[in-house]
Structure 1
Amino acid sequence: MPIHIGLAGWGDHDRLYVPGAKAGSKLRQYAKHFPVVEVDSTFYAIQSQERFVKWLEDTPATLHFIVKAYQGMTGHQRGPTIPAREINEMYTAFRRMLEPVIEAGRLTAALFQYPPWFDCTQENVRVLRETKARMSGIPCALEFRHQSWFTDEYREKTLAFMEREQWQHSVCDEPQAGIGSVPTVLRATDAQATIVRFHGRNVSGWNQASTPNWREVRYLYRYSDEEMMDWANKLRLLEQQSEHVHVIFNNNSGGDAAENAKRLMELLGLARPDGGDPNEPPPPVVEQLDLF
């Protein structure tokens, strides 16, 4: 099916899993519910190939991965300029990490989400060109967090640039809370794939990065049925522009992401990867007895 719905991460969605499910079994259970997952742990540290191999072995071929780029590659780590040699090492390690999932044909994209201070400048356009060159041969998605890329003056230029450079567009649904948020732009820039990420609409909590537990506040939002029905129509528009539309719910703070995702699947008439109704629990995963 051309619309594929999933969640950001798999560890925090306890309502999906059998009570007492072990951490190591959650991805396997997740794959019964959804056909795509966003790997966020790679933003904080480049993972080992072995970890990806384990994830692939634990899940059916129906599960595909969106892998978030390491924060050192997207400029989230403020401080002294990182030497070019270290940046090259990051990209080499990141590409090597992706090899198993690429070889398995299960990589949707490497997702490059840039920080709120990454604005539309000539220097940052150069950074994006260099990034795409370093990621040559690997599908990449691009998400902005600064409104300047989508002002009336630059919106069409931004989209044309993404199309020329072969970036998948990561379309956002997020609060309209000043310059550090972007509008929803319903345009595909790649004929093969588009990503849509739901961050919630918690306007008051969006710009609270200086407060403790700000992540828990930022993504605390439950989409209403009316909002989900509106998005069902928008996704059908994107479906006409791109062969595959991958939808990720990131409104995890209150445990709402999974239920919103299942409701959207229902509205679109999508079945679970195992063929079941999205709102019916799949058969329980049998846990192997841990003898030692």
Structure 2
Amino acid sequence: MIRVGLTGWGDHPSLYSGVTASKEKLFDYTGHFLSVEVDTSFYAIPSKENVQKWCQDTPDHFRFVVKAYQGMTGHLRGDIPFESKNDMFNAFIECANEFKFHGKLGMILTQFPPWFDCQAKNVQYLLYIRQQLKDFEVAIEFRNQTWYAEPVVQQTMNFLREQQFIHTICDEPQAGVGSVPFYPTVTAKKALIRIHGRNIHGWRNTGNAENWRKVRFLYDYNKEELQQLGDHIKGLETEVEELYVLFNNNSGLHAAKNAKELQGILDIKDVGLAPKQLNMFEGEL
């Protein structure tokens, strides 16, 4: 099964029915896609109450890919806002367990920063992640090319298989050591493709943090590029039980459009979507 979705559900106006309140955006989103990446969990671990509501507001077949908190993956600068590292992991595990309890957890995504390179201490940290998150399906996303260098890349993939990690396949600009190649290899019964765009200038930009983020993911895939991605996805589909494809090129509002275009290329007709709301009074006022 292929699950196409987006990162976050709050910034895709083309998916909402008219003027949609923030609390209703997730419902509208589930009328279009059967999966979503919870990216807010990277910045703060969601409360149990929020997770319960999200799960209750989504159809039975809907799945969440929950992004690991930034303190777990080495992004956080300064001290973690917990008494200990174990407290941090336990708080995240409690959150993930709530998704799992409702049957809505697709996987946990651990995205590591560009400075997380292929060296012994970082391999040991991946083993620590595996131990801490032993009860979950966990995807690993690298942002450093050393994990894909020859002949290391085969060792990387073998390690992910041995630890039952999901290899995150990335489509992103090829902009030096702080980016990774598109490497369509699966290492578990599920697979994850994250589509970041191909904006090389934005990927390298080190200016103002807010503007840099907007520029980095500013990209609109053309039909040929989406067709090429579709060909890879069709090949990978036969190797796994579930294949998640998440568009992260959000800043120019291209993600939803590109995801819809890819669904058309793959002839995906999702079953179990939420009913799309209709404006029953259109033209009567």
Q: How many Å separate the matches in 2 of 1:206 and 1:275?
A: 34
Which deviates more from structure 2 when the two are superposed, residues 219-228 or residues 202-211? 202-211
Give runs of aligned pairs for residues 125-164 of structure 1, distance below 5 A. 125-164=123-162
Cα distance, 1:83 vs structure 2: 11
Q: How many Å separate the matches in 2 of 1:159 and 1:210?
A: 34
Cα distance, 1:238 vs structure 2: 1.0
Give runs of aligned pairs for residues 107-186 of structure 1, distance below 5 A. 107-186=105-184
Moved over 2 A (4+): 82-85, 209-212, 272-276, 281-286
- 2:208 maps to 211
User: Are 2:5 and 1:11 equivalent residues in the alignment?
Assistant: no
- 1:236 maps to 234
Q: How many Å separate the matches in 1 of 2:44 and 2:82?
A: 19
For normalisation by structure 1, the TM-score amounts to: 0.91
Q: How many Å separate the matches in 1 of 2:31 and 2:206?
A: 35
Cα distance, 1:208 vs structure 2: 1.8
User: Are 2:248 and 1:254 equivalent residues in the alignment?
Assistant: no
Counterpart among 185, 194, 197 of residue 200 in structure 1: 197
TM-superposition CA deviations, 1:174-207 (whole Å, max 9, x none): 00001000001110000x2000000000001102
Q: How many Å separate the matches in 2 of 1:26 and 1:196?
A: 24
Q: How many Å separate the matches in 1 of 2:278 and 2:13?
A: 14
For normalisation by structure 2, the TM-score amounts to: 0.94
Cα distance, 1:209 vs structure 2: 3.7
Q: Which amino acid aligns with 1:93?
A: A
Q: May I ask how many residue pairs the two structures share in their alignment?
A: 279
RMSD of aligned Cα (Å): 1.9
Partners of 1:65 and 1:106 within 8 A in 2: yes
Q: How many Å separate the matches in 1 of 2:15 and 2:238?
A: 31
Cα distance, 1:284 vs structure 2: 3.1
SS state at 1:32 partner: coil
Q: Which amino acid aligns with 2:240?
A: S
Q: Which amino acid aligns with 1:227?
A: E
Distance 1:227 1:91, change over 3 A: same
TM-superposition CA deviations, 1:131-155 (whole Å, max 9, x none): 1100011110000000000011210
Distance 1:11 1:285, change over 3 A: farther
Partners of 1:209 and 1:215 within 8 A in 2: no
Q: How many Å separate the matches in 1 of 2:150 and 2:92?
A: 35
> Where do 5+ consecutive residues of structure 2 fail to align?
281-285
- 2:96 maps to 98
Q: How many Å separate the matches in 2 of 1:274 and 1:123?
A: 44
